[in-house]
Structures are given as structure tokens and as C-alpha cells.
Amino acid sequence: MTDRIARLRQEFANVFGCAPSVIVKGPGRVDLMGSHTDYNEGYVLPVAVNLDVIAGGRLREDNIVAVYSANFETKVEFELDDIEYDSVNKWSNYVRGVLHFLQEAGVALQGADVAIQGNVPIGSGMSSSAAIEIAVGFLFQQMIGFEMSGPDLALIGQKAENKFVGVNTGIMDQFISRLGKKDHALFLDCRTLGYDFVPLDTSWVKIVVCDTMKRRGLVDSEYDLRRKQCEEAARLFAQWLPDVKALRDVGVEDFERFKDRLPKVVRKRAEHVVYENDRVLRSCKVLRSGDFVEFGRIMNASHDSARDLYEVSCAELEAMVSVCRSAAGSLCSRLAGAGFGGCTVSLVRDESVEQFLGYVKENYSAATGLDPALYVCTAEDGASVLDCQ
């Protein structure tokens, strides 16, 4: 991280001719449990990881925001009173959207020079977009000093993604990027935004994220379709259970009682979500007892359900899960994020990590012809100040 901060400071000086007054981070995330439960107002269990977006900034005397992306080696400028969607430099829309909705929330912003650099793999399901949104929002909060709670800043990031960029995501990604805690997972109730930290002792078990290198080409259209199917399931359940507003309100016993009245595909989607919420709740209990073996079984069940009932897997994900589960020291493997490509997440015994990495790289490449990117992750703090003058 020290080297990245130094490089960002140098690039900031090269582009803007001065030093940033503050540098912050917004981490990426991996969801240990809670596949497609967030937009069903259910429960999720993500961790913030040691892959992140760092952002440096310095206030200006005008209302112009100049943003340089070290990843794209491009600078854009816009005025705070005229923030429009950029169809050319689309990466900048995550920045623009956050600033637009901060102002809509009544925050008096000021122009600034900003440089950002990220090492969250794009399109992998580790939420590089939320990392940018939270890094930028937190950066401006530090530079200007306005008061805003962590949950409220997460909601600003979600609005930017939903209403400015146009991707209809739930709240999990921005929430964990802002509020993550080192050596803990975060249990989040996506309806109430109530949350709690669950200990995640990685001294003998490591989180290994494996990028299949299959980009998620179908995720937008299929994601929207899954949402509609879940909304239909909730509407039908509300006929029999008037208190149902979303699938989060349907318990396992309720589902089993009424499932035969649902259309086949809608039933499959609902079954996954209802049981996935139950798996998240059970996961919190077993993690608090330190039972990683049982947690691994629950993670495996989550993947199998996402594959068979929610149907969001693909050949590359299945190849990776199969290889990871068969590797020495592996306790489990499941898809991460929305599916249709991207990453898997595995729990691996610490003494077997190097052997696991070599085995997965060789055998996944042999099965698919793709060269995977593998990350040994730790559970980290959410948005944080890294350096300031």
C-alpha cells in the first residue's frame, strides 16, 4: 500500500502540479454468503478486502472537479452545477453520480482536483464500482468536513450506481466498502440497514478469491429478469400471507407450505432466496462459534443453490468451483457476486494456501484454457484515511 500511495502522490503532482491534501481508500468486497438476497430486502454477509480504490484530492477555489484515473490514464473535468453523464469516459460516471447525489442531499460541495487508482479487478464481481463511489464520497467528506453517517454515504453510492450509472444493484456493495471492519465479516439486514460484525479469525483459514477471467456478459439482462421473478414470487405470497412485502418476509416453513402454488421458474428463484436468507443467519452462528468446517458446508450449499435454483452460474464458474473444492486444504468454494462469470471465493487452510494456488492455477487452465487471477484476501476496514497533510 505504501508504494501505491507514493505513486498516486507522484501522479497527482504530474497531472495537477501540487500534492493531494488527503488520500483515502474505498475497498472492494467479496460476499461470503447472501447470493441475490440484497435486493430481496434480505440478509448478506460480505467482507471488505485488501483490494481497493485509493483516491487523493485537493480542494480548488472554483466549482470545477478535475478527475484523473491512473488506470485509464485519462483526465476529465466537469462543473458541480452541471454534472452530466459521460458516454465516452464511463468510469467517471461513478464519480459524477456520487457528487450529484451528495449535492441533492444538501451537501455544499467545492471544486477539487482528484486522482484515483484501483487494483480491484474490473468485472470480476468484487465491486470495483462501489469501491470508486465510496472512495470518492469519503474523500470529499474528508476534504470538506461535512457530517454524514456511514450508512447514509453508502446510500449515496447506491443512488449513484442505480440512478446515474443505471445499474440496478442492492445496498450491500457500498455498505461493506464504507463500514467494513478488519478481521470481521459484516452481517447486514438490507431492509432496515441494521448491521453487526461477525468475527472472522483468518489465522488458520484464508479467504482465496479466484477470478475465472470470464467477464459477466449476461449479468445485466439476467439480473433484471431475476429481480422481476422474485418480485412476482413476493406478490403471489402476499395473497396468502398479507404481511409479505418482499421475499425476505417468507420463512422456510411458509415457503414449503405454499411452494406448489408457484409457477415452476418463480418457485425455483424463491426457494433459493428463502433458503439463502436462512443460510446467512446460520452462518453468523457458526462463525461466532469458530466452526469454519460447518461454515464451509453452508457456503457450498449456497453455491449449489445459486447454480441449480437461481441459475446464475456458467461453465467457467463450475470449472473453478470444481477445481477449488478438490484442492488440498479447501473447505469450500462458491461463486461471488452476481454470477455468470467473475470470481469464486474459497476458504483454505492456512498451511495449504500455496499448494492450493498452484493446483488451482494449473488445473483450471487445463480445463478452460484461461489463466486465472488468484488473490489471497484478508478482511479489512472499510473507507479509511491513508495519508493527509
- Where are the chain's structural domains? 2-199+380-388
In the predicted model, what is the mean pLDDT of residues 279-298? 96
CB atoms under 10 Å from CB of 53, counted, come to 28
The CATH T-level fold of domain 2-199+380-388 is Ribosomal Protein S5; domain 2 (3.30.230)
Catalytic one of 173, 211, 249, 387 = 173
C-alpha cell at 237: 405470497
DSSP state of 38: G
Per-residue pLDDT tens over the stretch 321-379: 999 999 999 999 999 988 888 899 999 999 999 999 999 999 999 999 999 999 999 99
Q: What are phi and psi of 61, to 5 degrees?
A: -90, -5
Distance CA 158, CA 190 (A): 12
Pairing of strands 195-199, 330-335: unpaired
Q: Is the pLDDT of residue 218 over 60?
A: no
In the predicted model, what is the mean pLDDT of residues 1-23? 94
In the predicted model, what is the mean pLDDT of residues 42-68? 97
Q: Is the pLDDT of residue 126 over 80?
A: no
* Percentage of residues in the chain having pLDDT higher than 70: 98
CA distances (Å), origin 344, targets 310, 336, 376: 16, 5, 12
243 is annotated as an active-site residue: no
Per-residue pLDDT tens over the stretch 220-259: 678 889 999 999 999 999 999 999 999 999 999 999 999 9
C-alpha cell at 300: 457450498
Picking from 179, 164, 172, 176, the residue whose alpha carbon sits closest to that of residue 94 is: 164
Q: What is the pTM of this model?
A: 0.92
Distance CA 223, CA 42 (A): 16
Position of cell 441494521? 194
Per-residue pLDDT tens over the stretch 64-97: 999 999 999 999 999 999 999 999 999 999 999 9
